Every structure is written in C-alpha cells, then in structure tokens.
Amino acid sequence: MGLYLKKRKRFLKKVLLGLILFSSGAAVFSALSLFLKQRAGLLWISHPLFLLLMMTLVSVTLYKPLDSAVTQIFRNYFNRKKTFRQITLMNLAEELALILDLKELANLIVNSFGEVLQLKTVALAVPCRMRGDFEITAAYGWSVSDYRKIRLPDSSAMLTFLRQNGPHVQVRERAVRMMSWQDANKLTQDFDALRAAWIIPLYVKDELTGFLAFSAFSPDAVFDESDFQFFREFARGVAKSIRNALSVQELKAANHELQDIQSQLIQSTKIKAIEQLATGIAHEIHNPLTIISGKAQVLLLKKDRAALDQQVEEVLKTIVKQTKRAADITRKLLMFSQGSGAPKEPLKLEQILDDTIALVSYQTSLDGIEIAKTIGSGIPRFYGNVHELREVFLNLILNAVQSIGSQGRIHVEMVYQAVDEILTVQISDTGPGIDQDHIEKLFNPFFTTRHDAVGLGLFVTKQIVHRYGGSIRVESQKGSGSLFIVRFPITASSQPIAQREEAVPLSLFPEGL
Amino acid sequence: MKKLLVVDDEEEICDFLKAFFEEREFDVHTAHSGAQALDSVKSASPQVVLLDVHMPGMDGMSVLRQIKQGYPGVKVIMVTAIETQEKIEEAMRLGADNYITKPLSLEYLEKDVQEKISLLTGKK
C-alpha cells in the first residue's frame, strides 16, 4: 500500500538510478584511462568522445540489472511498512469474527481501516431489511448527523453497479469512465454522497452484505493491483463478520417482536379472564352488598333519628361506606372492558384536570402536600368520555398523593405540541420513588405495594390511555420521586367521527353515595 | 297515595326497599319475577316501577318493553348490578326513565322516585 507516495517513489528511483549509472560510468572511464595511459601511453584515451562512448556502454550494460536491483531495494524498504499494515488489517479481520454486535463491529472496521491506511473518510454501509435500502452504520472522518442522513435505495445506481461487477474493488474515475453520461452522472452522485473515491463491496457468496466507501487526503493517491488484491481478501473476512452480525441483529429483533406479542397475548388473556371474573363477581356480590348497604341505609334514614344510638349510627355509616368500596372494586375492573362504548364528547381536558385536583385538594392540604399546576396554551378540545379521563387523572394524582404520604409536592403539567399533535400530561411527585424491579409490574392488575390498596388504579389508567391510542410511562429512581408521562394523540381521538344518535345525559350515572 | 312497585328476584332487596318507602308513605308492592311484575302493574297500577335487569326467566328488559307498551304512563327505573353501555342504551331505547346501579343509594333513589311522581302529577 504505497498510497500517494507512489509517484514520488518513481521519481526518487529514477534519480537514484541515474546517479549510480553516472558514477559507475565515470569510475570505469577514469580507471580505464589511467590504466591505458600509464601502460600503453594511448593519449586519445582522454578524448571526450571516448568518455561518452564509455558512459553509454556502461549505461546500456548496467541499466537492466541496476534497475531491478534498485526496485528490489525500494520494494523491500516500502513493503516493510506495507506488510505491517496488511498484517494489522488481516489480524483485525480475524478478530472481527468474534464481534456479534453490528454497531461495535462497524465502528471497529471503519476506525481501524481509516487509521491504518491514513484515509480521509471511511463509511460502512449495510442493508436495512426493514426498509429495503442500504444505510451507513458507522463512519470514520464523518460527523454522525451527516452519515445518518444517507440512504441508498436498492435500485440506486451505486448498488446496481456493485451488484453487476461482483467483488472487485471499484475506483471512482475508472467506473465512471466506462459508462454512458447519464449513468455516470447518477453514479457520480452516489460516489459524492458517500464521499468516496474507492468502494470495496462486501460479498458473502453472491449476497452483497455491505460495502466500504473511502477517500484519501490527496487527490493523487493511488492504489495498485496488489493493494486491490489485499482489499478483496480483507473484504472477504469483513463481509462474513458483518453477515453474522446482521443475522444476530435480525434474530434479536425477531426475538423482541415475539416477546412483545407474547406479553400482549398474556395481557389480553389476563384481561379477558379478569373481565369474566369481574362480570361474575359484580352479579353475585352486588346483590348481597345491596342488601347489607340497603338495610343499613334504611336504619340510617329512619324518620325518627333520635331513636338511633350515636355509636350505632357510626357503625351503620361505616357499613354503607365499606360496601360501596367493595362494589367500586368490581366496577373499576369492569371499566376497562366496557369503555370502548362509553359516550364521548369534546372535552376540555384542562377543566377535568382542575376538577380532579379540586377533588383531592382537601385531603392533600391536610397531609401537607402541595399541588402545583402548569397548563400550556392552545390546548385543543379532546374527544373522549369524561368519566374515563377523570379516572385517569384521579388515579395518577391519587397515586402520587399516596406515594408521598405526607409533606411533599406534586407537579401536574399539561402541554400540547401542535407539531406532533400530541397532548402530554406529566405528573411528578417528591415521593420515595419506585424500585426498578417494580416499574415493570406497576401497570399489572393487582400489583400494589400498599397493604390497603387493590392495585387496579394504574392498570385501569393504562387501559383507558391505550384506548385513546395514547401511551403512559414512568420514570423513577428510588429516593428521588416519580414522573408519570401520559401522551394522547389528538388527531386520532379528538375528532368526533359522527354525532351519536342518542346522547345519554350524564345524570344517568349517579355518583352513588 | 304514591304507588311503587319493586321488582327484584332477591326477596331481601324487595324487603328493605318496601320498608324504606313505606316509611315515606308509599304504597309499595313487590314482585320477584318478570311475570309477577306484569301482573302487579296490571292489578296495582303503580306510578313508578323499580325494575331489576337481571332476573331468571323473563328479564328486566322484556318486562320494561311490555310495561312501556301496555302502560306508557308508568315510570320505570332500571336497577342493575353492572352497567354496560349497551344495556343502558337498550334501556333508553325501550323508554326507561333512569338506570341506576347496585349497591343503591337510598337517598338518591328516594329523590329520583319523588321526582318521577311529581312529573306525573304535574302533567295531570
């Protein structure tokens, strides 16, 4: 790999050769003239013409062997450098086989290749199965934001060209010269985009698994056939490693997808089971609860209240309250299975959030919890069911209140990003935070860390948020509070699809006791 | 006198509702099935019916339909253990005057029944 030294090298060689020839000619001539003058006394020997003749003779006889000798010396000197580089790169190619992470592998390849050969830019492009094009996974001498933008469609001039020409190293000028000007133009654009003067295609058998595009600092830099030979050998090793890493990546993606589907399946099976259970429970339990609560209420609401003992009255009130609580559990369980049919209307979410905060503010003021609120401007109407959305806010705020216990701060923020058409509600608290291994289970039904809770609040919340096409996630660290982020897409759910024929008045849903 | 019919297959539920409304000077009749309910509507001609949705045999919805067909002046309040949107919509379509869930809030129920009756007497 002489690189751009090559032309200078040739010049140097010529000079050296000339010097040797001249000095040897001169030496032969002076030795001969001295000898002949003394022994034979031939004076014409010193004639310049004879000098010229001698020089020519010596040059002609010595040129060939000297030239090859000098070349040999040169090659030995420069090749030591070259072999060292080759060995480095071949060792690297062997090591690459052990790296299965595509990103790591690609970075190692471009950085080593670029540094060892002292190149200006190196880019490694690999196929992206999902989109069916080629993208640059790692680059040397590029800024990340620059190379991220570059995509080569499968039908691009470059890929077509590389597929036609097999595993040969492609030199920009040579490739372009052989084409019609339209094709050459397209190919030049691709070379430009890749900032490449050379391309090494990476083939595993007949499959193009990527390519290395690179350029040197000097525009005169040249590689020779033996360099290309080496590049091809290097490419074989690299191509295999990349093929492996790509397979591993695909496997990982497939595995993730499978896990997602599996967990969705488990979740939906769970939901189905809970739904059936809840419906059964609601029927079977609400009747006895109605009787217990009803009889207590009959006593409580007796016309002659004076007859009622103070203590008895307390007990009766507790009975009514606790039966309601028991009934609420099944009602919450049922909420997510029936919500899709809940009546929707354009809502002012900020209003609902206000109402919800007002609802808990009495309790929080007793506990020394401060609730701060930030509402962004331009919040659009949200097409939804008021009960469901109140449930979402209430659950999240109550969750924050309960995690704080007493003395702390809750910050509620609602903003609308018009660009993404996304409404974000963030609720942060100064509570003790959530254990990392609890975070995943947080939204599971019946998961709770409190002994007095059922563990349905966040589960129901998540179901409702998902029903509106939204997402909910939590960021928390033990000891530094929690942040719940709910995002609702506005386009999908906020547009009333059609006015409902039968608008059901809200008074149909008595709040009960 | 204000006349009320309570229909529920659970006798205990009928019992406490009867006790509650009788204390408030209602004439309370009870029925434990759909068939009984229709008979009582005919014989006692109540102003308001508290009707359980889930009953063995003829369910609350078909009782509602028949009452509203035969006696359109009678106010019917549906009572159920679970509220589903479809059930509520079906009940509204059949002409139910309200739809409430168990466990019952007697305060609310009393207010609602009084309201229905004053609506009726107001019309007359």
- Indicate whether A28 and A162 sit together in one domain: no
pLDDT of A491 over the 50 cut: yes
| Model ipTM value | 0.90
**Gap from A345 CA to chain B (nearest CA, Å):** 15
Residue A486, strand partner residues = A425, A472
Interchain pair B102, A279: CB under 8 A: no
Whether residues A192 and A108 share a domain: the answer is: yes
Domain count for chain A, please give it: 3
Mutate to test the interface with B, among A285, A291, A321 (most CBs of B within 10 A): A291
Give yes or no for a contact between A2 and A78, defined as CB atoms under 8 angstroms apart: yes
Partners of residue A502 in chain B, C-beta under 8 Å:
89, 92-93
* Local confidence band at B29 (pLDDT 50, 70, 90 cut-offs): very high
Q: Do A415 and A386 share a domain, yes or no?
A: yes
Q: Which range is least confidently modeled, A20-34, A96-110, A409-423, B90-104?
A: A20-34
CATH number for the domain that contains residue A400: 3.30.565.10
* Domain ranges for chain B: 2-111
Do A80 and A112 lie in one domain? The reply is: no
A88 and A126 part of one domain: no
pTM over 0.80: no
Interface contact B103-A282, CB threshold 8 A? no
A67 inside domain: yes
Residue A9 has pLDDT above 50, yes or no: yes
Query: Among A279, A289, A504, whose Cβ lies nearest the Cβ of B102?
Result: A289
- Give residue-wise pLDDT tens across range B34-91: 999 999 999 999 999 999 998 888 989 999 999 999 999 999 999 988 777 778 888 9
Domain boundary among A67, A94, A121: A94
* Chain A residues near residue B19 by CB distance under 8 angstroms: 298
Instruction: Examine the domain organization and report whether A427 and A502 are in the same domain.
Output: yes
CATH number of domain containing A171: 3.30.450.40
Sort strands A408-417 and A471-476 into parallel, antiparallel or unpaired: unpaired
B53 touches chain A (CB under 8 A): no
Measured CA to CA in angstroms, residue A359 lies from A320, A351, A460, B35 at distances of 21, 12, 19, 45
The pLDDT of residue B123 is 53
Comparison of pLDDT for A446 and A369, the residue scoring more: A369
Q: Which of B16, B81, B88 sits opposite A294 (nearest CB)?
A: B16
Residues A19-36 have pLDDT tens digits of 888 888 888 878 877 777
Would you say residue A318 lies in a domain? Answer: no
Cis omega (within 30 of 0) for bond into B103: yes
Domain range enclosing A219: 99-252
Q: What is the largest CA-CA distance in chain A?
A: 163
- Does some domain include residue A287? no
Distance between CA A350 and CA A488 in Å, rounded?
A: 13
CATH number listed for the domain at residues B2-111? 3.40.50.2300
Q: Within this chain, do residues A397 and A483 fall inside the same structural domain, yes or no?
A: yes
Q: Which tokens in the block code for residue B19?
A: 């006790």
B118 touching A, CB under 8 A?
A: no
Interface contact B82-A286, CB threshold 8 A: yes
